[in-house]
Structure 1
């Protein structure tokens, strides 16, 4: 394939690999560029590697035929070429940005050494190298502080606890996973972590990271209380990786702006996955990234009708513990508006919780914890946005095993 028609994809994560593979299947081979030294892998499963449940090779993704390891440092839109860190150039006809996101590093005193690197014992949790570094450092009895109580922080805290660490989780907001879960479901996550021995502090702001000899020794909270720490895990969210796009003059807000054809402000450049912003949304989830990759593959292979109209994505998390797995799923609007109908079923003994929100006879959201047999039926009713049947729909949906 000549360089003036070649599709080049920057980023070998879930979105980039999916796109390259689908294009190959559709007869439009693409060159995939990844900067990590490892083969492409499923980032969603890093916590399972940290927990010791999976070996790193288990989460590897099937790599496309054309994969180049390089760090792209610039986009020359005029010459339609990429500039790499080693000085080489890669020509493109169509460029796709699948650059993903970077971990948010909080503005804490002492977080960086004088040469702007993280001190020994302080880890982000975004890449396989981060995961392997943590795996090497964790051992039974090690004192670990996880900063951040969202989905990533909860997963990291659980994984470290399973490995025998003494874990403290510090969450700035009033409850765990507040973006996905309502208070009832969040309370069950809290109970699960405490059953694993995790000490959880909510409404708790970390102020300072204390180091001795270049290695972390403690974390100081805003109220002056200090937590001893051999390990600190930063799980404070992610930010779309848009530096290349900004430097190239593409339109960027939170993410790289794209239309329904997933085109940026330059029609020869597209963006998908965590770095893309479509119709005001930056999803940061696997399902939308994969759907965007599939739509763009169809479009680049010649299907002019292929359009991306947004993803109604469901967040699902399985936390494996020493006894049994702890499953949860959340979708749509879990906080009702005035006038909405809400049905909740809770069983404290079994640790299960189910709640759905219905507006104008349509399912608009729900949250389920434990025994998720009904999640399939609920998700289908929500995704279809069809009116619910008249007779007993809510209780039926909550209690009927519709398959997951």
Structure 2
């Protein structure tokens, strides 16, 4: 690409900021290979969304999770893409021209179809969440929830995935009386097997969190526009001063759809992270590559790095997917670290190696298929996670005697 190529990135989250920074690094001193404009609609300085729960818990101030301020950051809300003219239309009436456009628009929180979830604003007529009901996706969500929570407040977290567990732990750290309602049969069921999930549940219970699984919320009840309780499918009601919606996320693809780009769950991209329009790329939570929408930080960063090299002129670079490890630290009187990767639930015929120490609250499990590590989960001491993850990422056959696998599970120098 020529030195005057205009690259515009929509989204100032982890992926967008990483891409802008990497493009700046790849340029020659005094004459960068590309001109980069990063467009973000949030008023806050770009930040690491992964650490929002730590801000809610009071462990970090908002500025601690801020990302390095990128040059060329424009505050604007993009309302449309004119692919023929290669311009962006913004809510303030301005337009931004591009040669290459990158969608790093991230994802939106899933708002479950609960009765009473939305209230209608008497002035604007818009549907809004009632007072006391909070999504938990942005810095504004975090600061609003942090302002509302107080010691002894009754908080109901709906959703027992990674985000719900993090939110419940953070609210408990602030002194709230927390109930976690999970529709599935166990916590973090996408990442953890039953044994690991039980340890997470025990940790939350020790923090004072009341956990309900196989429990579906059907109704949010409000008085005077403010939440007062939530009702379960069986008719049981929980008093609530706060309700946190942690029901997952979905890729933010509205701009792409309106512009006529190919979209399935996310914006479809190839190994060069190119969409159905050759002048538009997509990375991060909004992108779908080889059938997968990752929704995790590591793939977003790897996609940003690959795309930066492609835009800078390395035509041989390809993004072929990410094998990501999910990690979470739960704070409390005692810390609980966990990591999961691949397929922690074995198929028939798989070999499973497990080590558990109930006294220390540690658990390690590896699933082996055709002499290859295909998944694992660790709770407690994570010294071996690095070696196990490398064995999984490399997908190399294990030696026939099996001893090295036991070494991977027990050697704390492997990280």
Pair in the same fold by TM > 0.5? yes
* 2:376 alignment partner, SS class: strand
Aligned partner of 2:366 in structure 1 is 356
* Residues 5-404 of structure 1 mapped to structure 2, 5 A cutoff: 5-27=5-27, 28-114=34-120, 115-321=126-332, 323-391=333-401, 392-404=403-415
Cα shift at 1:63: 1.9
CA separation in 2, counterparts of 1:399 and 1:131?
39
* 1:262 alignment partner, SS class: coil
CA contact (8 A) 2:5 2:35 kept: no
* 1:373 alignment partner, SS class: coil
* 2:384 alignment partner, SS class: helix
CA contact (8 A) 1:4 1:91 kept: no
CA separation in 1, counterparts of 2:283 and 2:362?
36
Cα shift at 1:3: 11
The number of aligned residues is: 403
Cα shift at 1:340: 1.0
CA separation in 2, counterparts of 1:389 and 1:132?
51
Cα shift at 1:154: 0.2
Cα shift at 1:2: 10
Cα shift at 1:390: 3.1
Cα shift at 1:389: 2.4
CA separation in 1, counterparts of 2:404 and 2:278?
46
CA contact (8 A) 2:384 2:408 kept: yes
Cα shift at 1:351: 0.6
CA separation in 1, counterparts of 2:5 and 2:256?
21
CA contact (8 A) 1:49 1:131 kept: yes
Runs of 4+ in 1 over 2 A off after TM superposition: 1-5
CA separation in 2, counterparts of 1:2 and 1:221?
59
CA contact (8 A) 1:150 1:179 kept: yes
The range that moved more, 335-344 or 72-81, is 335-344
CA separation in 2, counterparts of 1:337 and 1:394?
19
Q: Can you give the 5+ residue segments of structure 1 that lack an aligned partner in the other structure?
A: none
- 1:101-148: per-residue Cα shift (whole Å, max 9, x none)? 000000000000023000110000000000001111111100000000
CA separation in 1, counterparts of 2:35 and 2:6?
8
- 1:251-290: per-residue Cα shift (whole Å, max 9, x none)? 0000000000000000000000000000000000000000
CA separation in 2, counterparts of 1:42 and 1:36?
13
CA contact (8 A) 1:20 1:29 kept: no
CA separation in 2, counterparts of 1:2 and 1:206?
55
CA contact (8 A) 2:408 2:414 kept: no
- Calculate the TM-score normalised by the size of structure 2: 0.96
- Calculate the TM-score normalised by the size of structure 1: 0.98
Q: 1:2 to 1:259 in 2, by over 3 A?
A: closer
Cα shift at 1:359: 1.0
* 1:402 alignment partner, SS class: helix
- 1:212-232: per-residue Cα shift (whole Å, max 9, x none)? 111000000000000000000
* 2:276 alignment partner, SS class: coil
Cα shift at 1:338: 1.4
CA contact (8 A) 1:3 1:91 kept: no
CA contact (8 A) 1:357 1:363 kept: yes
